[in-house]
Amino acid sequence: MADVLDKCGVAAIYLKKSKKGNYDLEVVPQLLYVMLSNLQHRGQLSTGISTYNPFNEDNEIRLKLLKDVGDVDAVYKVTKKGPSLDIIKYCKGISGIGHVRYATSGSGEDYLTLRREAQPMLRHHGRASKRFCIGFNGNIANYDALAKQIMDEGYILDTKLDTEAIMHLISLSLKRRIKRNKEGYNKPNLLRISEDLMGRLDGAYNITAQFADGNLLVIRDPLGFKPFVWGENEDFYAAASESVALESIGISNFKIIEPGSCLILNTKKPAIKKLVEIHKRSYCHFEYVYFADVNSILDCGSVNKIRENLGFKLASIEPLKDKFKNTPSDYVVVPVPNTAIPAAEVYAWTLGIPSRSAIVKTKGSRGFINKLDEREQIMYREYKIIKERIKGRKVILIDDSIVRGETSKLIVGLVKNAGATEVHLRSTEPPLISPCFYGIDFPTYRELIAARYPSDKLEEQVANYIGADSVKYQTLDGLVDAIGTKSENLCSACITGQYPTEAGKHQASESLSRSKL
């Protein structure tokens, strides 16, 4: 599946003093480079970092910002020798945040606009405690209402991005909570700032904010839509969207940032506190099915193991299993790379039929991360078929999901043209019938192929549309069992139409009305 988009990935780092009592300032931008490289699958449109250097050598800027359109290597100007030394020296510091991004709703198209919208975003202010850079992963479902409130306060919105709205909400909270006294201005209480945010935001949000006074703030929404982890070793603290980013810099003993919590890093001991307690979760199940790196461990466990479980559950409902028993050599299981590979391997092993990697995904951008008008061109360049592995065989294609159906249609056609006598598509994800307003880019009913057909005819109609001999979807129960948590702890709004927040319900109602026009 290559026709869905996720929003972003975030990373944060804070050095500890060495045994000699000093810091290796050039380590921070290098660590952020490694972390962001391991989060590249979450966004390739733009990359950025912001670092904090308190030493002010030669009147250096205390809060540095580097961001541009392009992937991590492009923005770091990587050569055979590694990242640009000029960039490493420019971005030196004792702490910092990093971001990889796909364009959210409201994003521009031209280079200059995309560069301006790249993250982190900088909030200018003359006072260090009010100057900060912010990185964000998620989607704010009540953005429209918040934007109006912000403008009513006299603020100007330069974009339609929820990141900018959050930046201004932090600024408003700082304005209310920082007061002048006899000694000057009181220091902001970032716990209270975080509480203020959580009281106003509806949706999915992982936030990192690097302040010019040295504080680094990390926030996870109370429902825990998106994964977020943190940890430490003897040299530094770090936080990231996925554990694979922490392991890449030598932190294997990582911890989950609990939903509704904030983490404050500075030169003192880290402070982490749960601010909002909600006795349910809304973990995005799509992270396990598709978005997260296969090597990551999220709230519900190993991504690889869960994808293997999905393959086992698919095998248990396979309508052709009797035919497999009679003539197993007629069939071959082929995974659509790369996310579906663990599921395909277990599916084939369970049913006793061979599995071959017959589809090669060419190196380059993941199709789901690119703009809509580029997607079809990318898909045609993206896949190559090894013909001798499928010619004359009945192919069971295993894919992670069927969203718009365009990628499935393309791949089925390529496999048939390569000589397959039959092509049967199996999806590890149940039918997607409702849009997502929490950070996955299928925001309308019209985009979803499963929303077009009645449920009793769905698999037949989808098979006809994509040109497959048959289609079989995962069941909701199978999905929940594979992930290994209670159904009420997963966000499955795109499958069930049941949204976990009020703003999500409102947006779904409006989207459904528009789809009927």
From the list 8, 91, 133, 262, the catalytic residue is 8
Question: 270-288 burial, b if ≥16 CB within 10 A, otherwise e?
Answer: eeeeebbeeeebbbbbbbb
Per-residue pLDDT at 208: 99
Residue position matching structure tokens 């008008």: 373
**Ramachandran quadrant class, 408 (left: phi over 0; alpha: psi -120 to 50; beta: rest):** alpha
How much is the average pLDDT of 300-305? 98
8 is catalytic: yes
Query: Could you tell me the pLDDT band of residue 104, with boundaries at 50, 70 and 90?
Result: very low
Which range has the worst mean pLDDT, 276-285, 316-325, 360-369, 375-384? 360-369
pLDDT digits (tens, 9 = 90+) for 467-483: 999 999 999 999 999 99
Q: Which domains does the chain have, with CATH numbers?
A: 8-137+207-279 (3.60.20.10), 301-515 (3.40.50.2020)
pLDDT digits (tens, 9 = 90+) for 197-251: 999 999 999 999 999 999 999 999 999 999 999 999 999 999 999 999 999 999 9
Distance CA 437, CA 442 (A): 8
Residue position matching structure tokens 């749960």: 274
Per-residue pLDDT at 22: 86
Q: Which run of H or of E encompasses 174?
A: helix 162-177
Per-residue pLDDT at 364: 56
pTM for this prediction: 0.93
Q: Phi then psi for 406, rounded to 5 degrees?
A: -70, -40
Residue 291 DSSP code: I
Q: Phi then psi for 264, rounded to 5 degrees?
A: -115, 120
Per-residue pLDDT at 375: 54
